[in-house]
Amino acid sequence: MPHPDVLQAVLKQAVIEGILGERFPVAGFIDVQGVRESVKALHDAFVHVPDVLHAFAVKACPLVPVLRLLADTGMACEVASPGETHLALAAGFTPDRIVLDSPAKTRAELHDALTQGVAVNADNLAELRRIDVLRPRRSQSVVGLRVNPQVGAGTIDAMSTATAHSKFGVALGDPGVRDQILEAFRHRPWLTRLHAHVGSQGCPLPLIAQGLAALHRLAEEINDDVGRRQVTSLDLGGGLPVNFTDDTTTPTYDEYVRALTRAEPALLDGRYQIVTEFGRSLLAKNGFTAAVVEYVKDAGGRRIALTHAGAQVAVRTVFMPDSWPLRITAHKPDGTPKHLQVIPQDVAGPLCFAGDVIAHERHLPELAEQDLIVLHDTGAYYFSSPWSYNSLPRPGAYGFLTEGGHVSLTTVRTPQSMSEIGEEGGVSHADALLT
């Protein structure tokens, strides 16, 4: 997260430039240097791993300028839909540096990926049978199989992908499945990768490491069974929890590597190429969302600040507040921090349903009309994945750099216009149901 002085300077510059205020009452901001530093920390943690491909999970921030920045740092990328693949290619990633994961790939999507040379992780055995038919003879795609090590859930069920009944991967512990996996590899010499993803937010490092150690054991078992090194790479999936309670980055990538090594010392020894798919942990603390306070009122003895940041930019926080709490700071209209008496206040959004509240009874300096609030640690999955309820426009997103006390802002995504909202709502087909 940027230093408070930097955040204040960014807010001030945004207000001066008119990208945050009366006309544009909510906006997202990305710390460009912070992103580069996070990527460096990831690369440094794996520096002793002989062969590793770090792929950014596009779902965490599907904005082409951000993806291009990540490509410039040496990242590859992981995609989970045709749209994400399109964005990755537009950002300059070559097909050989794209990994496709999805539990519901269509035949067309598989054909395109296998023809282009995009790596594909099959989610299930039925998908492997589709690939048998669709894979060109000279395809350059690395093909893997996703397995579910079924090691259990963390504290957030919705973010845990290695439970007994997870929709993802081949359930490794189910009766007879291990033999089916061995059979699948025996008959497909081009099947050379194993993939697993235990989860992310709410999943402790020992649980993640336990699942990935099971992946390594399976790779060894397959190679022993076929009598050669057929499995040559392990895709460890994504998932590193992010600390949303303060500015501290924890756990770190170094701690992640140590946890993997404790669980299975041979996992990162170079015998297998390693693929990672981090997303949230690279960007969350390198972004924030700022919004205008439109009104302040009291109801039932409680102070309520009505702002322009609600579920349309923080859908997870609104619907799962205990799992996705966000830090909030109060600022004057010019961006400087407020230092008034702290009182409990609800911070609500603009959407037309009662639950559109970012924080309940949060102790903050007393807010007033035209003040600004900042939602911290929202660089991933927040302003980059808006919800269009009430036809509110997608907010603008801006990258920032600071040098010698000067703040430079650049547009990553322009705010959605009314004409774009109209087109999305079918305005060009307005009479379609009358004829």
CA distance 424 to 342: 42
pLDDT, tens only, 276-293? 999 999 999 999 999 999
What would the two tokens of residue 102 be? 């999805």
- Does 160 score more than 70 pLDDT? no
- Listed in order, the ranges of the chain carrying CATH 3.20.20.10 are 32-283
For residue 162, pLDDT beyond 70:
no
What percent of the chain has a predicted confidence (pLDDT) above 70?
A: 97
Considering the entire predicted model, what is its pTM?
0.95
Confidence class for position 159, pLDDT limits 50, 70, 90: low
As a residue count, the chain comes to 435
The pLDDT confidence band at residue 404, using thresholds 50, 70 and 90, is confident
Residues 6+ apart with CB under 8 A from 86: none
pLDDT of 73: 97
Q: Does domain 32-283 have CATH number 3.40.50.2000?
A: no
**Cα distance between residue 346 and residue 300, in whole Å:** 12
Six token digits for residue 341 = 């008496």
**How far is 83 from 31, CA to CA, in rounded Å?**
25
pLDDT value of position 120? 98
Q: Identify the pLDDT of residue 152.
A: 65
In this predicted structure, what is the pLDDT of residue 239? 80
Among 95-109, 149-163, 201-215, 313-327, the range scoring the smallest mean pLDDT is 149-163
**pLDDT tens for each residue of 84-127:** 999 999 999 999 999 999 999 999 999 999 999 999 999 999 99
Rounded-to-integer distance, Cα 54 and Cα 69, Å: 14
- What angle is formed at CA 406 by the lines to CA 403 and CA 410, rounded to 5 degrees? 90
Give pLDDT, residue 155: 74
Closest CA to 101 of 338, 318, 277: 277
Task: Count other Cβ atoms within 10 Å, centred on residue 327.
Answer: 17
Residues of the chain with CATH 2.40.37.10: 4-29+284-424
β-strands 191-195, 170-171: how paired?
unpaired
pLDDT tens for 407-433 read 999 999 999 999 999 999 999 999 999
Tokens standing for residue 280: 């949230």
Kindly state the average pLDDT of the residues 307-314. Answer: 97
Q: For residue 14, how far is the Cα from the chain centroid?
A: 25
3-state helix, strand, coil split of the chain in percent (to 5) is: 35, 25, 45
Q: What's the token pair of residue 39?
A: 């990527």
Domain 4-29+284-424 has CATH 2.40.37.10: yes
- Which among 278, 319, 309 is positioned nearest to 392, based on CA atoms? 309
Question: How far apart are the C-alpha atoms of 99 and 148, rounded to whole Å?
Answer: 18
